[in-house]
Amino acid sequence: MLYDITLIVIGFILVAKGGGLFVDSSIQIGRVLRIPRFVIGGTLVSLATTAPELITSVLASADGDTGMALGNAIGSCICNIGFIVGSIAVIMPFEVDRLDFAKRSAWMIAGAVLVVIFSWDLSMGRSYGAVLLVGAGAYLLWDLLGIARAWTGSGDGKVEEDGSERIGGVVGWFSLGGALILIGSKLLVESGQALAEALGVPSAIIGFSVIAIGTSVPEFVTGVTAARKGVPDLSLGNILGANILNLFLVVGLSGTITPLDLDPWYQWYAFPWLGLFFVAIVGVVLKNGVVRRANGIGLLLMYVLYAIGLVPIAIGVL
């Protein structure tokens, strides 16, 4: 147990350092290429910070542990909105571009609706997983086209002066940050899983709690670091992009590898909470265009209630 705790501490350190490099290099990439930070957060950063969820769920699915594979993806979406966005708003309230947010949130909600529909009979076959993968490809293509429009529209398709000389070094730091996050997340997930399994907790609950939190550490560190640096809009773009990829790419690839089987409590507990968090953040942003500290506190309280509700499920009371 002491060995696992030590690895968890090392994992947090690696992820924290990687998150800092991610934010700095992403801001610099956006500045050099003249791409809005919100778009950078929804593409480059979200792709890299979602890698731990993707790797974890794919490995779990390949091992036949579909409960952990799906629990990790859905649990990470809930953690991203409740815990991470809530924490960021408490640190620094931030304004949001409603149009950009509306477009990305539409993708996020569509992904959630499809996952619920495809798994309504408590299973998800390979064909449904393939449909979600097509959705992931469509989202990434849409995102790339958006970057191209933002690039040409804001800078005539040109980088800043001397940008071509600087971009190579920035990409190097970005890659190093991604490597540190992946290594640190792997340590967090494996060590956290070992501790949780020693307690006899079902794999699906492990996926929704320990694994979901562990694989969401990159988003948390990146988001908090961005807020402290005064660019919280980067973190929200990252969160939305990560949730979209969790629902389409992570669930889709996991279901394509091994058909997913769900416990009944997914329908009456997990999915309703997922919808509640999505409605909360979308309602706040579209109504006010800003996420205030009070909203952050509300999201954190919701997440605490959600986490408390997992306890009786874990011990078999419900």
Q: What is the pLDDT of residues 149-162, one digit of tens each?
A: 766 655 544 545 55
| Assigned token pair, 44 | 């480059």
CA angle (303 as vertex; 301, 305 as ends), nearest 5:
70
pLDDT bracket for residue 176 (50, 70, 90): confident
What is the three-class DSSP state of 290? strand
Whether the CB-CB separation of 18 and 180 falls below 8 Å is answered with yes
- Please, what are the domains in the chain? 2-314 (1.20.1420.30)
Measured CA to CA, the distance from residue 116 to residue 134 in angstroms comes to 17
pLDDT bracket for residue 184 (50, 70, 90): confident
Neighbouring residues of 84: CB distance < 8 A, sequence distance ≥ 6: 216, 219, 220, 223, 235, 239
pLDDT at 156: 47
Question: What single DSSP character describes residue 316?
Answer: T
pLDDT at 305: 96
Residues 243-272 have a mean pLDDT of 93
Whose tokens are 């968890």? That residue is 8
**pLDDT 10s digits, 47-65:** 777 878 888 888 888 888 8
Measured CA to CA, the distance from residue 275 to residue 116 in angstroms comes to 10
pLDDT at 1 over 90: no
Neighbouring residues of 154: CB distance < 8 A, sequence distance ≥ 6: 34, 35, 36
Alpha-helical (H) ranges within the chain are 2-33, 37-40, 46-49, 51-62, 66-79, 86-91, 98-118, 126-155, 163-198, 203-206, 212-228, 232-245, 251-257, 265, 271-288, 293-314
If one compares 145 and 251, the residue with the highest pLDDT of the two is 251
What is the three-class DSSP state of 203? helix
pLDDT at 159: 47
Whether the CB-CB separation of 108 and 244 falls below 8 Å is answered with yes
Q: How many Cα atoms sit within 13 Å of 133 on the Cβ side?
A: 13
pLDDT at 108 over 80: yes
Beta bridge partners of 95: 290
pLDDT bracket for residue 211 (50, 70, 90): confident
Neighbouring residues of 301: CB distance < 8 A, sequence distance ≥ 6: none
Question: What single DSSP character describes residue 124?
Answer: E
pLDDT bracket for residue 166 (50, 70, 90): low
Across the chain, mean pLDDT equals: 83
Q: Whole-model pTM?
A: 0.83
CA 144 centroid distance within chain:
19
Nearest to 8 by CA among 147, 168, 211: 211
| CB-neighbour burial class of residue 274 (10 A; exposed 0-12, middle 13-18, buried 19+) | buried
pLDDT at 188 over 80: no
Element (H, E) at 208: none
Measured CA to CA, the distance from residue 87 to residue 132 in angstroms comes to 30
